[in-house]
Each structure stands twice: as C-alpha cells, then as structure tokens.
Structure 1
C-alpha cells in the first residue's frame, strides 16, 4: 500500500492508521532540529535516527514509525525492522492531520512495545511531554511519569538536555 496510496501507514493494537497527508515543512523541520540538537549532546555511538525502517513487534502485531528514534548504531545493524526494546527513546512531532495518533495511540503502544521513553512535541500548541517509567496496569503497560514542557524551555530526554527554543509551529494554513 505504501507504493500506491499517499501518506503514512502504521499498524497499532487497534488496527491500521493511515495518515493521509504528507508531513508539512514545520513537522519535518522540527524533527531535523531535534535530531541535530540531540546528536550534539549524545555519545557518538548513539544516533537520533529519522529514517527507515519501522519499529515492529510481530507477536504484538504492532508496527510504528517514530519521527526520531534514539538508538545505538550497533542496534541498527539488523535486517528488517528495528526491535522496539533497543530504542532509548521514541520521539514524535504531532501530526496536524492526525494528532490522536501521537497523543493517544502511540502513548498506548510505545509502553506495550517496551520503549522506555516517549517524547511528544506538538507544533499546534507549542507544548510537549516526556513520558517514562513503564508500569503494569489492568489495561496493559503504561507510562507512570509525565513531564510537560513548553516550547522555549529546555527538555531532558534520557540523560541529555536540549533547547526547545525556536522550534517551528504550524501556521493556520498547514
């Protein structure tokens, strides 16, 4: 389907998510800024990866594609999808056309996949959250700790602190 239909596909615990719109400039520029800012402070063996492949847990039936994945270069040397438990963090820039995918679906799926840190940047509102400390609940694993931030503040992702100053925001026409 990726070759014939526009947009991006992911497989969630609830079914297939099809984000019809291609990411707009502020979305891609935010991911680029985050990648560069993180790589400036992380050790050389880690990368803030913005490309393919996906992150997949076949037994759970979930395939996701974070906008930025903090991962060791050695954990990228695999055929096919990355193992989700090798990620240090999954970072998402909220989609203007499908914000629930980032704020609800991925908040549910990422702890289920064992991704220890989930960081959300929302260009619609200029806010974000760092979610951590996976714990069991009757509805499945969830993040126990949530630290909210506003654009302009410094944010700590794992053990690295980066600035959120001057991150792009969506305009009314994006």
Structure 2
C-alpha cells in the first residue's frame, strides 16, 4: 500500500504519541505494554510461575547450544521499528551480544529468533498479533510455547503475501519433543503447564 506523505506523517505522530504513553505508564501500571499495527496491547496480569519457568528453561536450553557471541536474552529493551509503528518485547530473543551494545531499542533486523510463552490472560497476543508483527519486523524465526495445551509451533521462511510478510512454514510440536529453533535443537521435555482453574 502506498501512503501519501500527510498520512505517513500522521502515522508517525500517532506512533510517537503511543510510544510516549507507553513510556509514561511503564512504572505506573502493572503488566507489559507493547505497540502493534492495531494499537497498544496491555497484558495486565503478572506472568504466572509456569510462564516464567518456561521462559527460564527455554532460555537456558538455547544458551547451551548457541555458538559463542550469540545469547538468549530475556530482558529489556524492546524490539522496535518506528517506521512500521511496532514495539514488541519477546519473552526470549536470540541476538548477537555485539548487537546489544549502545542505547535505545533493539533493531529487529538483528534478532535471529523470537520466543514467546503464551500468557493465560491474552493468548491472541502471541498466536495472532505477534504472528503478524514478527515477520513484518523481519524476525526470521518465531517459536511459540503454549502452557495451556502443552503444545507449540515454530514459524519460519518469511514470504510476501497480499496482507504483508508472513511465515510460510509452521512446524507444530507437543511438549516432550525436540524442536529446532533456527539452527538450534531445543528439548521441550519438563516444561510446566498451567493448572486448570
């Protein structure tokens, strides 16, 4: 889609307003804020123990197989592409340690893989929103772990579609299988599940 200059300027202003709002709310309200193509996403719930334990175990398993110079990072800052109007915060990202230097958000073009653990309170953020945004950002591999079902999927091979860039390949898995995230084999055994309420 081609945008007239005034529309592009409007979108840039709108993104800056959302970015400033998110920055002002980070220490004020609980939860996590992200900016998508459709607006601000606020996951109000603090992550549950199974979510955080899954993040920890996946990070450690990735780091055990990553070559020197690459890390499985779980902290801040966010991954941001202001031109696309997107600011996301993966649960785990594979990135070169050298690309973490400097100030500001991470450049999404430096992220080799993003991993999300589905939250109980907002599963569509991971299965729908990030499925749309990560290929748009150019993140080549996206892995989703879903403690609700003990399943997940790894997405790769970005290709052009009429709706924008999308992942062409989806490899589903059940907990207990070994999966491949990018070039790295990761076991999924021993990952926790959410308890039924």
Same fold (TM over 0.5): yes
Which of residues 113, 117, 137 in structure 1 aligns to 2:137?
113
TM-score when normalising by structure 2: 0.87
**Shift in Å at residue 58 of structure 1?**
0.6
2:78 corresponding residue in structure 1: 54
Gaps of 5+ in 2: 1-24
Distance 1:94 1:78 in 2: 30
1:65 corresponding residue in structure 2: 89
**Shift in Å at residue 6 of structure 1?**
1.0
Which of residues 181, 189, 193 in structure 2 aligns to 1:157?
181
Q: Are 1:84 and 2:84 counterparts?
A: no
Q: Are 1:27 and 2:70 counterparts?
A: no
1:135 corresponding residue in structure 2: 159
2:11 corresponding residue in structure 1: none
CA offset digits 1:40-84 (Å, max 9, x no partner): 111121000000000000101100000000000000012110000
3-state SS in 1 of match to 2:56: helix
Q: Are 1:12 and 2:36 counterparts?
A: yes
**For this pair of structures, how many residues does the alignment match?**
173
Distance 1:139 1:20 in 2: 29
| Structure of greater Rg | 2
Larger helix percent: 2
Gaps of 5+ in 1: none
TM-score when normalising by structure 1: 0.98
Distance 2:86 2:79 in 1: 8
Distance 1:30 1:140 in 2: 31
Which of residues 68, 71, 93 in structure 1 aligns to 2:117?
93
3-state SS in 2 of match to 1:4: coil
Q: Are 1:148 and 2:172 counterparts?
A: yes
Distance 2:129 2:53 in 1: 23
